[in-house]
Amino acid sequence: MNILMILGHAHSASTLVGILLGSSPDITFIGEEYDFFREDALDDYCTCGERVGNCPFWSRVNERLIELEGPDFRKEIKGGYRGLHRDAIYFLGKEHPCQERCKQIISSFYKSLHEQAGTKYLLSSAKNVAYARKILEDLFGPETLKYLITVRNPMGAVASFLRHGWSFWQSVRIIGTTYVMLKLAVPRTRRFVVKYEDWINNPVEFFHKLTQKLDAALPEWDVHRSENTIAIKPLKQIHIFAGNKIRKKEKHLIKEDLRWKTELSLEQKIIVSTTLLPLYKLLY
């Protein structure tokens, strides 16, 4: 089993990166898979158009997990999957009844995903470095995980945060903390930096090179170019049901987002350019 984990702050285009890269025949994009453990997860809708409980991919994962762990595995994970890996990390190395049971359910979940996917890689956009490093690497071995760090120019990232209801200082804190944490926490030999500005204007060439580095088949897309936009339609059905709403689109218009130039005030631009921008350039 090989797992690709997308890490990065919110609004770094991680869902779109997952969709584009997950169009490779060797990669199965599973999105923010922790949502599978919500009590109402089976009633949600997958990108295939079916409810998760009827989806040809997720329904079989669910059936297999019931076979392995029993029908009450969701009830055993109080607080959902997010709560699961917080608890499991907290109790790592300590005597606590949830520790081994939590890890056992996670192990069976990924084995079920791998069986159903049948591909070289599972690609997750869970974006939780502690969970990946302290639990998944412990379960499956460090050599099974590789990391894709999605980052973008902080001007665009901050503007996107503000557009979605975050405060300016919240966004600055989250982005800056993530820049530093990922640089320090992720092994250099197993990480690939995916900079928004590097791929947005030439996604075909960028993702072809990335899949070659991963020793994976090239993504399968239907590509149409216009003067300022590239329209990409994945030719492979992707099954995800959580994350950015962009997942629901059949075709993705790839064009650099420069709205920050008019959306950020002069004061905000000065703050970002003197705090986050130097950090971004230094680390990435």
Domains and CATH numbers, the chain: 2-283 (3.40.50.300)
pTM equals 0.90
Residue 101: the pLDDT is 77
Higher pLDDT, 134 or 31: 31
Pairing of strands 145-151, 191-195: parallel
Judged on CB neighbours under 10 Å (0-12, 13-18, 19+), 13 is buried
pLDDT band at 93 (very low <50, low <70, confident <90, very high): very low
The confidence score (pLDDT) of residue 50 equals: 94
Lowest mean pLDDT among 10-19, 108-117, 125-134, 266-275: 125-134
Alpha-carbon distance of 63 to 266, in angstroms, equals: 55
pLDDT at 81 over 60: no
Of the candidates 154, 152, 151, the one whose C-alpha atom is nearest the C-alpha of residue 269 is: 154
Q: What is the mean pLDDT of residues 188-213?
A: 93
Q: If pLDDT is split at 50, 70 and 90, which confidence band does 167 have?
A: very high
pLDDT above 60: residue 218 = yes
Q: Is residue 229 a contact partner of residue 255, using CB atoms and an 8 Å limit?
A: yes
The 3-state DSSP class for residue 44 equals: coil
Q: What is the mean pLDDT of residues 188-208?
A: 93
pLDDT band at 84 (very low <50, low <70, confident <90, very high): low
Three-state DSSP class for 91? coil
What tens digit of pLDDT does each residue of 102-143 get?
A: 788 889 999 999 999 999 999 999 888 877 887 889 889 999
Give whole-number Cα distances, 143 to 58, 151, 189, in Å.
26, 24, 10
State yes or no: pLDDT of 80 exceeds 50.
no
pLDDT single digits (tens) 45-69: 999 999 999 999 999 999 999 999 9
Q: How far apart are CA 129 and CA 172, in angstroms?
A: 19
Q: What are phi and psi of 192, to 5 degrees?
A: -130, 125
